[in-house]
Chain A
Amino acid sequence: MDAALKIWIVIGVVGLLNYLSRLSFIAVFARRRMPSLLARALKYVPAAMLTALIVPMITAEPSATHALAGHPKVFAAALAGVVAFFTRSNLATLGTGMAALWALQAIG
């Protein structure tokens, strides 16, 4: 398949599915109550899916020469995770994580 066409199909289909998910209970199923099993399962979508995305991003490309077991991103992310847990702040999490990574890379 043509690469440009494939990207536009992804934009169209994923965009539509995202919009329908966003619209679902606000408009389409507004008069229905969500089935309880579905409501229960959906509670775990962010924790499961986002964690599945985070882990490969921070464990990839380890540097064997690094002092901290070659995984500066894992340590920086763990620290940022603690900050996120207590502050719930995107900015504080970002600041801590980037500063920790830069510090580890500087000493590594």
Chain B
Amino acid sequence: MRRLLVSSDFRAGFAEMLPACVGLIPFGVVCGVGAAAAGASWAAALGMSAIIFSGAAQVLAGQLVAAGAPLAVIVLTCFVLGLRFLMYSAAMAPYLKSLPSRWQQALAFLLTDQAFAAAVRRFSVNDDPRRGALHFLGCGVALWVCWQATNLIGYFAGNLIPESWSLEFAVPLCFLALVAPLLRDAPTILAAVVAAGAVVLLGALPMNLNLIAAGIAGIIAGTCADLTRERWTRR
């Protein structure tokens, strides 16, 4: 443990995530507020942030629980949202394949949107797997600790924040920071446009089913556009 904390790679990863942690403070606080609004106990709120460890899934689960959606709808919608981790996992796998399986299991738990982006940057300049793993662990631990703290603050102190601050707006802004930079090719733009249109058009569906329906419609549209584009360029 001590050796870990003095490792320069671990500390570099930890320090690199501090600006991202600052940016996640309002998001974490809103997640804690959402857990309280969904009727979770403090232990359940901590369980959500510590075990699910995905702001988007927590916000979504909190909304769906508060709206009284059935368990199957909540699980299915969160599962589709979490499918992006399959992609991150596949992208990380080549760098982590030489590590002991305990390390792989630990690092996988810490795989989030922010840690993934940091790891991609890191491995593009230095692909030493052991040092990269320590760096990734540093990133993941910083994010995890910050996430638990901000969620608990939101759960216990969220009602002290004036409504006029519109802090809940931080959540779509954090998602925008992830999505907007992706909109650089036609299939991805189409996926986003179809999802946006579908979620509005299907707004009347019960149990927030419009979220998963729109997500799947967007994924299908993007995939079809991608396949069509490839066929065109092959000609």
Which residues of A line the B interface, CB within 8 A?
A: 1, 3-4, 6-15, 17-19, 21-27, 30, 34, 37-59, 73, 76-77, 80-82, 84-85, 88-91, 93-94, 97-98, 101-102, 105
Contact = CB atoms under 8 A, between A and B. Distances in A.
Contacts of B188: 43-44, 47
Interface of B: 19-20, 22-24, 26, 38-41, 44, 47-48, 51-54, 56-57, 59-61, 65, 71, 74-75, 78-90, 92-93, 96-97, 101, 104-105, 107-109, 111, 113-114, 164-166, 168-183, 187-189, 191-192, 194-196, 198-200, 203, 210-211, 214-223, 226-227
Contact of B89 (A26, A46, A84, A88): A26
B48 A11 contact: yes
A47 B23 contact: no
A13 B166 CA distance: 31
Contact of A53 (B59, B75, B181): B59
A47 B192 contact: yes
A12 B173 CA distance: 28
Given A22-B108, A40-B227, A45-B80, A85 B183 contact: yes
Given A44-B219, A94-B23, A105-B166, A52 B214 contact: yes
Contacts of B217: 48
Nearest to B164: A105
Contact of B52 (A15, A44, A88): A15
A32 to B, nearest CB: 10
A26 B93 contact: yes
A54 B179 contact: yes
Given A25-B93, A43-B87, A84-B181, A10 B74 contact: yes
A21 B86 contact: yes
Contacts of A94: 23, 26, 170, 173-174, 177
Contact of B105 (A1, A23, A48, A58): A23
Contacts of A85: 180-181, 183
Contacts of A4: 39-41, 44
B18 to A, nearest CB: 11
A19 B163 CA distance: 35
A24 B211 contact: no
Contacts of B57: 14, 18
Nearest to B61: A10
Contact of B82 (A18, A90, A105): A18
27 contacts: A1-B71, A8-B44, A10-B75, A14-B57, A14-B82, A18-B52, A21-B89, A23-B108, A24-B89, A26-B93, A26-B96, A27-B105, A27-B108, A30-B97, A39-B90, A41-B220, A42-B84, A44-B191, A47-B182, A48-B216, A48-B221, A53-B175, A54-B172, A57-B172, A84-B179, A94-B23, A105-B166
